[in-house]
Homo-oligomer: A and B are copies of this chain.
Amino acid sequence: MKLRRSSRLVDMTHYLLHHPHQLVPLTFFAERYQSAKSSISEDLAIIKQTFEQQGIGILRTLPGAAGGVQYIPKIAEEEAKQFIAQLCTMLADPDRLLPGGYLYMTDLLGDTRIVNQIGRLYASVFAHEKIDFVVTVATKGIPLAYAVASFLNVPVVIIRRDSKVTEGSMVSINYVSGSSKRIQTMVLSKRSLTEGANVLIVDDFMKAGGTINGMISLLAEFKANVVGIGVLVESEEAEERLVDEYVSLVKLTSVNVKEKQITVEEGNYFQFVK
């Protein structure tokens, strides 16, 4: 259907936002709107400039016959700073303290706006890695993994604690949890991950890193290549960290149950922002 420039800008913006990281040939838009490729190029220049100016992301244009346009979600550093500061304030609320020094985060992880924003932050920092799958472990990391994966436009794979009949044949491993030193099990459906895939691990919380270490061991059974690890909250209280390189948004530096005090600060996120 033939569309005027103003309508094309609206529809193209919608299309690009819903197809991140996908290379869209200019001919696709030219046919969609019955417009000349030169007009489409002009439209894209406007969208590119606005996306960059408003901190929406980057529009990459690849020339040539196999070329096209690719929208890469990117968050402006200032917006990321403000968002992480806001997360820190929310997490420092003493009402979050639970017996045993755990923090109640269910409300934050249930807020789709917050979850999607976390996804945008991780998709920004891992935008230039080759990622085939986002992997998480049930259940708290699931919404975060889907949010990241939506912005990267890749599928999600969920590791589970126990095997289910609806998952088919499973691969399982035992691992030692970092803090409790107990032996635990993780399983992954055989069909769910192709061999040799590039994966990004995402989880909500990391203390010693035993769970993530377990995930890495299980992923090794699939010959997966772990290209990155993102955790929402890292806890500094761990004596010995089993995982070295990870990207965290928030660092929990101390929890004082008696005084009802929680201290949080910015994680190492900005060390990885290029």
Residues of A that sit less than 8 Å from B by CB: 1, 3, 5-7, 9-11, 13-14, 17-18, 46-47, 49-51, 53-54, 56, 98-100, 102-107, 110-113, 115-116, 138-140, 142-143, 146-147, 149-150, 153-158, 160, 165-168, 189, 191-192
- Chain B residues near A54 (CB-CB < 8 A): 10-11, 14
Partner of A167, one of B3, B6, B104: B104
Secondary structure dominating the interface of A: helix
The answer to whether A168 and B56 touch across the interface, beta carbons within 8 angstroms, is no
Kindly list the 8 A-B residue pairs having the minimum CB-CB distance in the complex, ordered from nearest: A10-B50, A13-B13, A7-B50, A110-B155, A112-B150, A9-B9, A110-B156, A112-B149
Taking the closest CB of chain B, its distance from the CB of A16, in whole angstroms, is 10
A6-B5, A110-B158, A142-B139 are contacts. A102–B165 as well, Cβ < 8 Å? yes
Q: Report the nearest B residue to A134, measured CB to CB.
A: B112
